[in-house]
Amino acid sequence: MKKRLFLAAAALSLFFATSASAQTDNWTKVEGCNVSVNEIQHDFGTKPLYTKTEFEFKIKNDSTEVLVIKNITTSCGCTTPTYSKRPVKEGKTAIVKVAYDSARIGAFDKTIYVYTNFSTEPIELKIKGTMEEEKSNK
């Protein structure tokens, strides 16, 4: 009976360990900082002019310390970030929402610099894509 309980417990432990690692596979570790992100670069592809062009970057705290996003800057005024200034506990996630001014025709490639208490160097996130005029069906 003890052997069956042990085997069942071992099987459950293996299952949960495998499930936990599968969930973290979608995160990318940021070098030099105790965080992971859901994406380093988001490609919007080609979109019609004036289309909503927003993306939420998720930053997960991989440290036992509290993560604080001190500031966020961008490579261009056409890119607007919003984020919570609340501290992020161990294992929790902060969201950085980035909006691009989709009233500009052409390709774009912008960088978002996220400054935290974990490093003097910012986390660099990127968005890119192309905005084009809608083609008329004449």
Tell me what pLDDT residue 25 has: 62
Which pLDDT value is given to residue 5?
Answer: 44
What are the per-10-residue average pLDDT scores of the chain (138 residues)? 48 39 68 94 96 96 96 95 96 97 94 96 97 75
- Whole-Å CA distances, 61 to 3, 57, 97, 128, 134: 39, 13, 17, 25, 41
Give the pLDDT score at 32: 86
User: What's the token pair of residue 9?
Assistant: 């417990």
Q: What is the pLDDT of residue 17?
A: 39
List pLDDT tens digits, range 82-118: 999 999 999 999 999 999 999 989 999 999 999 999 9
33-132 to CATH, choices 1.10.1040.10, 2.60.40.10, 3.30.499.10, 3.40.50.2300: 2.60.40.10
Listed by start position, the domains of the chain span 33-132
Cβ atoms of 95 and 64 within 8 Å: the answer is no
pLDDT at residue number 134: 78
CA dist 116 and 67 (Å) reads 7
For position 14, what pLDDT does the model report?
Answer: 41
pLDDT at 3: 52
pTM of the predicted model over 0.85: no
